[in-house]
Amino acid sequence: METILNTILISFFKIFAKISTNLTTKIAWSFFCRPRIRKNPLSKFESKLLQQAIKDSINSGEYEISVYEWRNLTNLDEAKTVLLTHDWADTH
């Protein structure tokens, strides 16, 4: 299903870019850069993970960015840092 959706989106943007680059840019910006509202509640696994997180936020001027941090407190000497960014539409 995801592959079909990707093919449709790519085709849509290729066709409309030939008609109006400006309008296509606005549509793409709206589609890819505006948050979507989550339709399904969090799963039990997701809820449990969020409860274990150290929650904070970063104020970037115009936006407040939620930050979640998980630490392996049993072995801090071998801790690795991983930065993940996704699902920015959710506010928990």
Domain locations in the chain as residue ranges: 2-33, 44-78
DSSP state of 3: H
**Beta bridge partners of residue 68, listed in sequence order:** 55
> What's the pLDDT tens digit per position in 31-86?
777 766 777 888 898 888 888 888 999 888 888 888 888 877 677 777 777 777 66
User: What DSSP string runs through 15-75?
Assistant: HHHHH-HHHHHHHHHHHHHS-----SPPPHHHHHHHHHSEEEEEE-SS-EEEEEE---TT-
- Position 92 scores a pLDDT of 47
> What's the pLDDT tens digit per position in 9-36?
889 889 989 999 999 988 888 877 776 6
50 with 92: CB under 8 angstroms? yes
Classified as helix, coil or strand, 9 is: helix
Kindly give, in sequence order, each residue whose CB lies less than 8 Å from that of residue 53, ignoring residues fewer than 6 positions away. 68, 69, 70
d(CA 5, CA 29): 17
